[in-house]
Amino acid sequence: MDEGTGHPPTTARDAELGSAVARAQRGDEEAFAQAYRTVYPGLLGYLKGLVGDDAEDVASEAWLEIARDLGRFRGDGVGFRGWTATIARHRALDHLRRVRSRPRPALLDQDVIELPAPADTAGEAVEALSTERALALVMGLPREQAEAVLLRVVVGLDGPTAARVLGKRPGAVRSAAHRGLKRLAREINGRGR
């Protein structure tokens, strides 16, 4: 178990996920449920960072597509996380395009973001990126950094997989995530004084 998360090490979790996906592709409904339970929380956190309160609706659309196309997926647990994140990202971008046609601001637009109240502490923000306060901090980052942090930390993707999701080079994603995390640390430390 990872001491910080209480979960099995990433490689073991991803091996279990890969096995569940392979069984689900053969029609095992419980294996699909296991894959869903493994991937959904991180994917929902990522979508909350992209579309806010509409995350569950977008996640539902994404899971419909994932279930429909599962037979075409080829890869392991890490690949499945990346594949599902790519599908979720596409559904989120579609959603944001629809929302833009109705005048309502996207959450990652810098002009409309409200940062958390000064009473937020570093411990609350670092405790779990899935919390509303931490997501608000992440949404305060430039979009490229916010997506990189969400994919790397919340979804748990490695650099190359996150890069494929975003259509960028792994070094660019690692750099964006690093800059974003440094900026978050400065924000948290500035508020903690």
**How confident is the model over 26-43, as pLDDT tens digits?**
999 999 999 999 999 999
Q: Which of 56-60, 85-89, 127-131 has the lowest mean pLDDT?
A: 127-131
pLDDT above 90 covers a percentage of the chain that reads 46
The answer to whether residue 25 scores a pLDDT higher than 50 is: yes
| Closest alpha carbon to 186 in 131, 140, 132, 129 | 140
Give the per-residue pLDDT at 131: 57
Condensed to tens digits (0 to 9), the pLDDT of residues 114-170 reads: 434 444 434 443 444 445 777 778 888 898 999 998 898 888 888 899 999 999 998
The answer to whether residue 113 scores a pLDDT higher than 80 is: no
Give the per-residue pLDDT at 191: 61
Q: Which residue has the higher pLDDT, 1 or 161?
A: 161
Give the per-residue pLDDT at 1: 47
Look at the alpha carbons of 168, 151, 175, 132 in this order and tell me if their dihedral is positive or negative. Answer: positive
Query: What mean pLDDT, rounded, does the chain reach?
Result: 81
CA distances from 17 to 73, 148, 151 (A): 13, 22, 17
Q: How confident is the model at residue 4 (pLDDT cuts 50, 70, 90)?
A: very low
Mean pLDDT value across residues 69-93: 95
What is this structure's pTM? Answer: 0.70
